[in-house]
């Protein structure tokens, strides 16, 4: 019976290892292609060529075809993926920093500080994102910086919740009591003794939250509230191509495939890290 139990664990270990590898490969394929795009022998993603409109994939050197203005779709997808990833990663960093700092303060100080931050979290979660971004874009315009800031500022709550829960556990540990007795200040305790213990769950959470931000950024572009054409993003490529779906299905299909690769890859990698680190995010 012991040997049978040991054999049963091996397939689980292989699946566990394979999820992270597959996820990492999917992400790496998109990221490397997006980063190397300026040095690849591809046409300019913004240059029109009306003679080559709606060329199907594989024709005249256009691997993924061309769009309604004759622009190479592969070049536009790689350029759009680079811009979309930049927006998502910066927004995720802003959300993680704000949420972690507020969560640590709420968990460590408690009292009215905890109550105030938790109420702010409830308010932030109650406001529909689309309504908020419509308001911001109407007031300040659809600039790249506005999109990054609004995505980051509206995504901090989940990081604050995890940081608060972990800080509540950490502040009861003996070494925290010891550094308090030594007279260390609260900022020093939070940054040097609490924050390092939050790194693992927050990195796992960041990996699992990036797919949501990818879909969110694509949704903004699809609805026309994000970065405006002719500058490509994964979302506005689908938004532009939907009018030509019956004539040129590849205009929607391939940007959707890239979004799916990023989302699936991040989810697989996040699940792998979640199991590997035995992290609880509740």
pLDDT in tens, 14-73: 444 678 899 999 999 999 999 999 999 999 999 998 898 999 998 888 899 999 999 999
Provide the H-helix boundaries in the chain. 2-36, 73-109, 111-126, 129-140, 144-153, 157-170, 174-181, 186-189, 195-222, 234-241, 250-276
**In this predicted structure, which of 57-71, 119-133, 149-163 has the lowest mean pLDDT?**
119-133
Integer CA distances (angstroms), 167 to 102, 121, 164, 170, in order:
11, 17, 5, 5
Instruction: Inform me whether the pLDDT recorded for 227 exceeds 60.
Output: yes
% of the chain surpassing 90 pLDDT: 51
**191 upstream amide cis, omega within 30 of 0:** no
pTM higher than 0.85: yes
Instruction: Inform me whether the pLDDT recorded for 13 exceeds 90.
Output: no
Q: Helix 73-109 to helix 234-241 angle, to the nearest 10 degrees?
A: 130
- Mean per-residue pLDDT, 180-191: 85
| Domains of the chain, CATH where assigned | 20-31+62-277 (1.10.3720.10)
Confidence of residue 132 (pLDDT cuts 50, 70, 90): confident
Confidence of residue 192 (pLDDT cuts 50, 70, 90): confident
pLDDT at 100: 94
Instruction: List b or e across 15-52, with b for residues whose CB sees 16 or more CB atoms inside 10 angstroms.
Output: eeeebbeebeebbeebeebbeebeeeebbebeeeeeeb
Classify residue 173 by its DSSP letter.
S
Here the tokens at position 121 are 């979290």
Three-class DSSP category at 62: strand
């Amino acid at each position: 019976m012991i040997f049978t139990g040991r054999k049963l664990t091996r397939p689980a270990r292989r699946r566990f290892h394979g999820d992270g590898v597959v996820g990492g490969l999917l992400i790496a394929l998109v990221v490397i292609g997006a980063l190397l795009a300026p040095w690849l022998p591809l046409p300019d993603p913004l240059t029109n060529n009306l003679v080559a409109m709606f060329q199907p994939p594989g024709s005249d050197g256009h691997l993924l075809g061309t769009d309604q203005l004759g622009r190479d779709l592969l070049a536009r997808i790689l350029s759009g993926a680079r811009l979309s990833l930049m927006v998502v990663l910066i927004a995720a960093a802003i959300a993680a920093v704000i949420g972690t700092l507020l969560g640590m303060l709420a968990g460590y100080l408690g009292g009215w500080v905890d109550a105030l931050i938790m109420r702010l979290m409830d308010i932030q979660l109650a406001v529909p994102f689309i309504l908020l971004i419509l308001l911001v874009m109407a007031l300040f315009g659809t600039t790249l910086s506005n999109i990054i800031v609004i995505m980051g500022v509206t995504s901090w709550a989940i990081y604050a919740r995890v940081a608060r829960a972990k800080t509540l556990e950490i502040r009861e540990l003996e070494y925290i009591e010891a550094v308090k007795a030594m007279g260390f200040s609260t900022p020093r305790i939070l940054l040097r003794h609490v924050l390092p213990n939050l790194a693992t769950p927050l990195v796992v959470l960041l990996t699992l939250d990036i797919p949501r931000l990818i879909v969110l950024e694509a949704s903004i572009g699809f609805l026309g509230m994000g970065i405006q054409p002719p500058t490509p993003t994964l979302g506005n490529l689908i938004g532009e191509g939907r009018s030509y779906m019956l004539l040129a299905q590849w205009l929607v299909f391939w940007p959707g495939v890239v979004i799916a690769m990023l989302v699936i890859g991040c989810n697989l990698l996040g699940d792998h890290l979640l199991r590997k680190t035995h992290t609880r995010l509740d």
